[in-house]
Amino acid sequence: MVKKDIAILDIGSMCVTVLVGERGINSTFKIKGKGKADYAGFQNGQFLEPDQVKYAVALAISNAEIVYGGKISELYVGVPGEFSSVICREASIDFTKKRKVNDGDLKQLYHVGNIYRKHPTHTVINQSPIYFVLDDGKKVIEPRGMVSTKLSGLVSYVLAENNFIDFFDRILSELSIRKITYLSSCLAEVMHLFDPATRDRYALLVDCGYITTSVMLARGDGLLFLSSFSMGGGYVTGDLSQCLKITFPEAESLKRKVLLSWDAKENDTYEVQGKEYISPYSAVATNQIVEDRLDMIATYINKCLDRCDFEFPAFIPVYLTGGGMNYIRGIKDYLPRKLGRKVELVSPQIPNANKPDYSSEIGLLDLALELLEEEKFLIAR
């Protein structure tokens, strides 16, 4: 690979994706290669067909290499929310005299707060600040260059399950990947999707994918809270398939026709183009099936938020991303009635990659490039 190019592996609940790229002008990206492979995914923190994961990853890497025109030997691997946890800790260091805060001080502060270096089941993969405090007691977001006699702060640590890391270490080693760096997919998303001003006021993000949903609360440059559960847009498709006794592809097409705001009458139908003919489906029955599953997903989101120990303003919206619910028409107006908050749809603002199901892969590419450029958040394993 060219020195300024990096490759990321995004592990979704329906497919794995490899991107190769570099930083473009005005903080954009130049995507030089992309490979994708479908697989069975994961549920409740377990891969449904673990023996097939290697083949999916190998195919995604191979396809990306073909487009890129070169060999991938190093990978930044995104760890999904279901295999991650977030812990925030207060940390403090004292200086021998009043002086300007520098990068070394920040790294020392993170090190002091990191008590998880020999954790038996988890490994810290990212460390980032929620806020800093100087000797005047004021909270600041950027302390470098400020004069103080001490540095304190609230630091966010993202931990990944060792079983996940060991699993992908083995797979990627067999695929001749010589250097692997693990990153939090959830942290990558919030850092890319929200500007610093928004994050400083708290950002509440829900990534609903095909089988999994992650609920995140972010502030500053870190995650305050992360909780995930195994339910997503694929469950809506599955309900339609089972209840209406249709194939999964037909159910997926029908889901894309649904309009939640439609006050359908008894004879109203959605029409789905099949291989040979158009099939009508009751709009009333279809909407009810979809709404029942969406209500269940919303209930789980609320349960996640109830477990959050951090208080955050009632007026901040829920930002929704991922391919699970964002494509259901009317979801932006339907969910607020279930969540009790305004809902905004969010996706990367990148040409040719501005879809909500690209949030994780683009976020990972962004964070990996930032690590390469500034060596922020990184912990060497």
Q: Parse the chain into domains and list their residue ranges.
A: 6-82+162-194+349-374, 84-159
Predicted confidence band of residue 118 (pLDDT cuts 50, 70, 90): confident
d(C-alpha 125, C-alpha 120), whole Å: 14
Q: Is the pLDDT of residue 99 over 90?
A: yes
d(C-alpha 48, C-alpha 239), whole Å: 19
Q: How many CB atoms lie within 10 A of CB 5?
A: 19
> What pLDDT shows up at residue 371?
85
Predicted confidence band of residue 375 (pLDDT cuts 50, 70, 90): low
The token pair at 90 is 């207060």
- Name the region of 331 (left: φ>0; alpha: ψ -120 to 50; beta: rest): alpha
6-82+162-194+349-374: CATH class? alpha beta
Q: Is the pLDDT of residue 380 over 70?
A: no
Phi, psi of 188, rounded to the nearest 5 degrees: -60, -40
**CB-based contact 297:325 (threshold 8 Å):** yes
> What pLDDT shows up at residue 271?
93
The amino acid at residue 170 is: R
**Residue owning tokens 């609320």:** 302
Reply yes or no on domain 84-159 having CATH 1.10.579.10: no
Mean pLDDT on 192-212: 95
d(C-alpha 207, C-alpha 336), whole Å: 16
**CB-based contact 225:217 (threshold 8 Å):** yes
Q: Is the pLDDT of residue 241 over 60?
A: yes
List Cβ neighbours of 203 (8 Å cut-off, separation of 6 or more).
190, 193, 194, 216, 217, 218, 219, 316, 319
Mean pLDDT on 128-139: 92
pLDDT per residue as tens digits for the range 21-42: 998 877 788 999 999 999 999 9
Q: Where are the beta strands (DSSP E) in 80-121?
A: 84-100
d(C-alpha 302, C-alpha 338), whole Å: 9
Mean pLDDT on 263-272: 94
d(C-alpha 113, C-alpha 124), whole Å: 11
The token pair at 229 is 């559960």
Bridge partner residues of 179 (DSSP): 74
d(C-alpha 187, C-alpha 359), whole Å: 11
Q: Is the pLDDT of residue 379 over 50?
A: no
pTM beyond 0.85? yes
pLDDT per residue as tens digits for the range 143-167: 999 999 999 999 999 999 999 999 9
d(C-alpha 232, C-alpha 254), whole Å: 16
The percentage of residues in the chain with a pLDDT greater than 70, rounded to a whole number, is 97
Structure-derived torsion over alpha carbons of residues 345, 350, 353, 358, reported in degrees to the nearest 10: -50
